[in-house]
Amino acid sequence: MLSQAQNFQGKVIDNTTRLPIPFANIVWIAHQVGTVANINGYFEIIKFTDDSLSFSAIGYRELQLSSTDFPDNGQIELIKKSEVLGDVQIKVRKRRRKRKQDKSYLLHQSIAKNRLKNNLKKKPYYDCEVYNKIEVDLNNVDSTTQNSLLFKPIGFVFDHPDTVSLKKPFSPIFLSEGFSNYFFKKGSGEKEVVVASKNAGIKIPSVAKYTGNVYTDFNIYNNYLRIFQKQFVSPLAQGSWLSYKYFITDSLKSGDTTFYRLDFKPRREEDLAFDGYLITDDKSHGLNEIKLSIPKRCNINFIEEFEIKQKYTLIDSVWVLEYESILIDVNPLQKSYGFYIQKNTHWMNYSFDENQNDIFFTAAAKTEVTDSAYEYGDVLLEKYRPEKLDTSEKSIYSDIDSAMNTMYLKVIQNLSLMAYTGYYPFKYWEYGPYYTTYSFNNIEGQRVRVGFQTTQNLLKYWRINGHLAHGFGDKITKYRGLVTKYYGFDKWRFIEFEHLNDFKILSASDNAFQEDNILASLTRRVDPRYTHTIRSRFTWSHEWFNGINNSIEIKTEKLIPLGSLIYRTS
């Protein structure tokens, strides 16, 4: 990127996000010769050997470099200005401003009136590529963390905590990446195809669909933004002036276009509104950049900090989202360890030429995951990542995977899965449901049950599920067996055969505890009415498209009433 003989060429970027800074001003201080960077941050300027270059952009500190200090790679890194506006706003609060004469109010109204034009979701069609990176960190870590009873078996994960990037020192404990193709069509909805996914430590393929855009999307142009089950007023809404105070705090002239920084703050303490700022221009009044944070006084349970930053770029006269970062500080124990959740998303290669018909959007599932997304995620992400992982990010994968391979965390992970699914996993099979191992009722007395199901590690296209139970009161052994053969995973297609010989409560609600759940035994107030059920069933199911399927079931069933239950035959 270093200059030609007579010119300097380079690119102005943010020193933190590494993203380009559009329309930065570049001026030779003594000669008063200057230029403006383009939308992608690139610039070219005549070379002087006895002068210094000044680089400035709205929201950033000015940088001055002598001609001899111009970097070899041509990258000029600017640092964000410190945002200390509290005192100014407190003074202004006491002075009533006339809206029709207030430049901040007029600028906001122009932004609000142009929301529909600048809202990408109002366009007829667009598609793009999306890269997501989600990181979970344990914060408030210190030198004692490694030696604590809870973390000592995996103390190496906390060898080098990050003490600089955020307010609290932290060590990563989870990292997930995803790359997908995203499609939107007005009137038909959205669809996403995840083509690559990788998780550090957790090997659950179903996590892949949550690393895409559909599950993590955040549209600032909506009137209300739902966060943690609360409705926050968007600072871009037409009537948001009733909930916010706005202040123009900076401006920058680029050619015949002026860019403004508009800061905003909740008008009243009880308002569900954000602190932050946005950058817009006087031509399109679309967003160039926005930052939102939730004030602490909003008092969201366990959330100490929530911040969103978005950066937009101009494509075909449309400001489109290019980069987003979200930071959440979760601290359920207040003074002890908490968690940082960090999400960074890049949107790339936008296209507004419609290349998908309505049928493509009709599937019930809005997110699809390709067969190779998880299996070959590591290789595919090397190809699709907008930026290569740095050394510290690579070490996150290495450290977390090493920790997950320790017996200590394997047991914790298995117990967590058991609590969620009801089954404790082994390599080739799973035991469960654990809550049916022991129960009691008025017919069987005390009952014990052993259940299992196989995993794909044993048989990839077959699943065998069953249980054996015995009642010590009625001295009868019961059982169930289920064999399923899958002949398609991209579409849900299978055949299965079941044989059951057990006691069932046929009148039980779908939301009730399972008959032999120990919690059902402990909480029931009246004796249930059981039916001895002997059933054989054959099922064929074929999914043609996502959400559209046919099935055929052949079943024979014998029902025998037990205890006080009587069936009328006439």
When the pLDDT of each residue in the chain is averaged and rounded to a whole number, the result is: 84
Q: Average pLDDT in the 433-445 region? A: 94
CA distances from 9 to 12, 42, 56 (A): 10, 8, 16
- Highest mean pLDDT range out of 85-89, 184-188, 470-474, 525-529? 470-474
- Residue 116 confidence class, pLDDT cut points 50, 70, 90: confident
pLDDT at 417: 83
Question: What are the pLDDT digits (tens) for 371-427?
Answer: 788 778 888 888 888 888 877 777 777 777 777 778 877 887 788 888 888 999 998
Question: Rounded to the nearest 5 degrees, what angle is found at the Cα of 559, between the Cα atoms of 558 and 565?
Answer: 165
- Residue 546 confidence class, pLDDT cut points 50, 70, 90: low
Residue of 469, 474, 491, 472 lying closest to 543 (CA atoms):
491
Burial zone of 242 (CB within 10 Å; 0-12 exposed, 13-18 middle, 19+ buried): exposed
How far apart CA 368 and CA 366 sit, in angstroms, is 7
One-letter identity of residue 350: Y
- Decide: 233 and 272 in contact? Cβ < 8 Å: yes
pTM to 2 decimal places: 0.67
CA distances from 76 to 10, 43, 556 (A): 7, 10, 76
pLDDT at 80: 84
Q: Which residues are within 8 A (CB) of 69 and not within 5 positions of it... i.e. 6 or more apart?
A: none
Question: What are the pLDDT digits (tens) for 478-520?
Answer: 999 999 999 877 678 999 999 999 999 987 766 667 888 999 8
Residue of 403, 396, 391 lying closest to 170 (CA atoms):
396
SS3 510: coil
Q: Which residues pair with 190 in a beta bridge?
A: 184
Q: C-alpha dihedral over 333, 291, 351, 364, to 10 degrees?
A: 30
E strand or H helix that includes residue 7? strand 7-14
Question: Rounded to the nearest 5 degrees, what angle is found at the Cα of 195, between the Cα atoms of 416 and 40?
Answer: 115
Above 50 in pLDDT, residue 167? yes
The order of strands in the sheet holding 75-78 is: 42-46, 7-14, 75-78
> Looking at per-residue confidence, does 359 or 432 come out higher?
432
User: Is omega for the bond preceding 235 within 30 degrees of 0, making it cis?
Assistant: no
One-letter identity of residue 373: A
In this structure, of 143-152, 258-267, 550-559, the range with the lowest mean pLDDT score is 143-152
How far apart CA 390 and CA 197 sit, in angstroms, is 18
What sign for the dihedral angle of Cα 526, 529, 530, 535?
negative
- Decide: 194 and 370 in contact? Cβ < 8 Å: yes
Q: At what angle do helices 391-404 and 407-421 cross, to 10 degrees?
A: 80
- Residue 95 confidence class, pLDDT cut points 50, 70, 90: low
How far apart CA 291 and CA 279 sit, in angstroms, is 9
Exposure string over 521-557, b if 16+ CB within 10 A, otherwise e = beeeeeebbbbbbebeeebebbbeebeeeeeeeeeee
Q: Which residue has the tokens 């006691």?
A: 503
How far apart CA 171 and CA 169 sit, in angstroms, is 7
Q: Average pLDDT in the 210-221 region? A: 60
Q: Average pLDDT in the 426-435 region? A: 93
- DSSP letters, 395-431, are HHHHHHHHHHTSHHHHHHHHHHHHHHHS-EE-SSEEE
How far apart CA 73 and CA 198 sit, in angstroms, is 32
pLDDT at 470: 97
Q: C-alpha dihedral over 559, 560, 566, 570, to 10 degrees?
A: 60
pLDDT at 97: 57
Above 60 in pLDDT, residue 532? yes
